[in-house]
Structure 1
Amino acid sequence: MRNIDIKQTIIIIELLLILIVSMAGALTFGSISLSVGDIGRAVADTFASGVPIEAPGQGALHDIVWLLRMPRILLAACIGAGLAACGVIMQAIVKNPLADPYILGISSGASLGATAAIMLDVGVALGENFVGIAAFAGAFAISLAVIFIANMGGRANAVKLLLAGMALSAVCGAFSSFIIYFAEDKEGIQSITYWLMGSMAGAKWETLAVMIPLTILAVIFFYTQCRMLNLMLLGDETAVTLGVDLHRYRQGYLLVGALIVGFAVYAAGMIGFVGLIVPHVSRMLVGADHRKLLPVAVLSGAIFLVWADVLCRVVIPQTELPIGILISMIGAPCFIYLMVKRTYGFGAG
């Protein structure tokens, strides 16, 4: 056991160092290449002057580092960590290794909220971020609806949650298509399409002030629930014999997961596959025990999305590729490879 703990600690420390180096290195990439010396000078000048880092007009170097690249790198790390954590949780809730944060209809709810905001001006009074706010509201509302429907006719279980999510996802997709079909707004359709592709370009320090604490608190909360998450993999019958009723835990985890996904959608649009692929790879590294799996998945997700965002900025010169497209291009082949390479269940590794 002690050797296993030492191995786990070493893996986490290595991933943490890789994340720090990745975030620092990501600052140098973009349409304007910066050297390590440029980054160091920008940081030193900002702290020496005492000017708030978010203050504009402090020079081109300051603005590139502190207003453009640093916020999006931090946002990418936050969203990557949050989606990976939610992927682990959703896979435990529904006992399905193919689950991801969007499988319970959350993505379709967000899409419907964004569609209604863009095409029908729903929530326009909320300010310039009304599309993201509407998407978050849609995601969270669908999560509540999934729980409500799954509890109809008896207590919710993994299968009922999955079926309720699939049904509501289809309903939301139908309503989104209905709105788009009758709106006849070409500019609105283009806006929806771009938003659904996902992007870190809208990252702001004000958004990070919410995202960073939320992600950290959610990950800490889920880590304290590792015993219950492990029990979920054994099934409700086994849990009952141990004196544990998983019903309320499953619903609580779903709501917390929806909160993270909703804010991720609010901040960066739709980004798929992170919550599906990262838990798979992490489970191969450290096994299915959530005490080991969760921190490795969180750090791996952050690293993955930081470098995915870098690729989006540099793969096509003078153009930014939407991150959702890149993630899908990477994620789908990787997922097929994992399925062909190794068939395993939650007890693998």
Structure 2
Amino acid sequence: MTVPFSEVVASLGHHLTYAIADGFARLGIRDVPYLTATADSTTDMIVWQLRAPRTIAAIIVGAALAVTGAALQAMVRNPLADPYVLGVSSGASLAAALVMSSATASWMHSARVPFAAFVGAMITLGVVLAFAQRQGTFTGARIVLAGVAVGQVASAATTLVQLHSAPAELRGMLFWMVGSVAGVDAFSKIWIPVVVAVVCIALILTRGRGLNAMSMGDDDAIALGVNVHAFRLMIIVLVAVLTGVSVAMAGGVGFVGLMIPHAARFLVGADYRRLMPVTALLGAGFLVFVDTVARSVDPPNEYPLTIFTAACGGPFFLWLLRRSRTGGAV
């Protein structure tokens, strides 16, 4: 099945419009494209100070997680790989939990938590690479094993921090760790991670040929002229940076990096030169949709994003398994 690229772009545009219009205070969908800073003060605050920043954050996080998932699946040749197998999300969560447990009640509106999460992710990446290297080289299997091991240790430490936290701090930690962009209420909070993420996503999108080669195995990639060691290290670093940025902005959002690449393959095939742009757009649109649902189901309350991503991801993979039993590829 092949879907025109223009239809994917149009679908994302529709989700963006609805995300800005829908919420506790609803706006006219037809009016959204014409909203400017000259609108009345209430509408201006709702759109430009509340919904637009969090929608941009959802776009970036969704695209980043989807792209990193697809890239990792090519690098380790495992269809079940996702951004979190490197362990960097667990390291980011540990660093964020340490800051939350020692910060004041206003931690949600502070830049300390996202900054700590990103630093924690980068430190974890260094530890994973140190354990994964063998004679100066890395293999996909060693990186995954090191990532899982380091991630489990970081998760255990995070649980220990939670057990020694006050109830109010613990509730905030749990809500953040299962994914939310509710804390993004100003463009000033996200412009740096957005720029970093856009650059990293662009770099991965331009590596479609190399990802095609790596998905066939190291020997075939070498025969096609790919410097396997340098290419793998570059992709792993880009994936870790994008995962760190995503966790810093939205906490841990599950299933996006695992599910969306498979959905994109179903739409456009396995050629990474076409797959990666569609994966980025699908990931962005999916998380914008999920965030809209999370804040619209029971206003003014909000639900964590992972509740809805998991609710979509489970049935999706059951459908994939059923399809594979009837002759389709997983």
Counterpart of 1:186 in structure 2 is 167
Q: How does 1:209-288 map to 2 (within 5 A)?
A: 209-288=191-270
Counterpart of 1:31 in structure 2 is 24
Q: Whole-Å Cα distance in 2 between the matches of residues 37 and 11 of structure 1?
A: 25
User: CA separation of 1:172/1:314 partners in 2, compared to 1, >3 Å: closer, same or farther?
Assistant: same
Are the counterparts in 1 of residues 62 and 287 from structure 2 also a CA contact under 8 Å?
yes
Offset at residue 147 of structure 1 (A): 1.5
One-letter code aligned to 1:277? M
TM-score (norm 1): 0.86
Are the counterparts in 1 of residues 17 and 33 from structure 2 also a CA contact under 8 Å?
no
Aligned residues: 326
Secondary structure of the 1:330 match is helix
One-letter code aligned to 2:299? P
Counterpart of 1:54 in structure 2 is none
Aligned pair partner of 2:14 in 21, 35, 52: 21
User: CA separation of 1:235/1:318 partners in 2, compared to 1, >3 Å: closer, same or farther?
Assistant: same
Secondary structure of the 2:180 match is coil
Aligned pair partner of 2:4 in 11, 16, 19: 11
Offset at residue 110 of structure 1 (A): 1.3
**Greater alpha carbon shift after TM alignment, 33-42 vs 227-236:** 33-42
Secondary structure of the 2:36 match is helix
Secondary structure of the 1:27 match is helix
Offset at residue 169 of structure 1 (A): 1.1
Secondary structure of the 2:215 match is helix
One-letter code aligned to 2:69? G
Secondary structure of the 1:45 match is coil
**Greater alpha carbon shift after TM alignment, 29-38 vs 73-82:** 29-38
User: CA separation of 1:243/1:299 partners in 2, compared to 1, >3 Å: closer, same or farther?
Assistant: closer
Q: Whole-Å Cα distance in 1 between the matches of residues 188 and 67 of structure 2?
A: 23
User: CA separation of 1:209/1:184 partners in 2, compared to 1, >3 Å: closer, same or farther?
Assistant: closer
One-letter code aligned to 2:5? I
Q: Whole-Å Cα distance in 1 between the matches of residues 279 and 222 of structure 2?
A: 28
Offset at residue 291 of structure 1 (A): 0.3
The reply on whether 1:108 has 2:90 as its aligned counterpart is yes
Structure 1, unpaired ranges of 5+: 1-6, 47-57
Offset at residue 292 of structure 1 (A): 0.9
Q: Whole-Å Cα distance in 2 between the matches of residues 67 and 277 of structure 1?
A: 31
Are the counterparts in 1 of residues 111 and 189 from structure 2 also a CA contact under 8 Å?
no
Q: Whole-Å Cα distance in 2 between the matches of residues 17 and 40 of structure 1?
A: 14
Counterpart of 2:176 in structure 1 is 195
Counterpart of 2:272 in structure 1 is 290
Offset at residue 179 of structure 1 (A): 2.7
Offset at residue 177 of structure 1 (A): 2.1
Are the counterparts in 1 of residues 204 and 238 from structure 2 also a CA contact under 8 Å?
no
One-letter code aligned to 1:191? G
One-letter code aligned to 2:305? I
User: CA separation of 1:272/1:256 partners in 2, compared to 1, >3 Å: closer, same or farther?
Assistant: same
C-alpha distance after superposition, 1:65-113 (max 9, x if no partner)? 1111111112111111111111111111211110111111122111111
Aligned pair partner of 2:38 in 37, 45, 50: 45
Q: Whole-Å Cα distance in 2 between the matches of residues 290 and 264 of structure 1?
A: 22
Offset at residue 221 of structure 1 (A): 1.0
Q: Whole-Å Cα distance in 1 between the matches of residues 128 and 9 of structure 2?
A: 35
TM-score (norm 2): 0.90
**Aligned-residue CA RMSD (Å):** 2.6
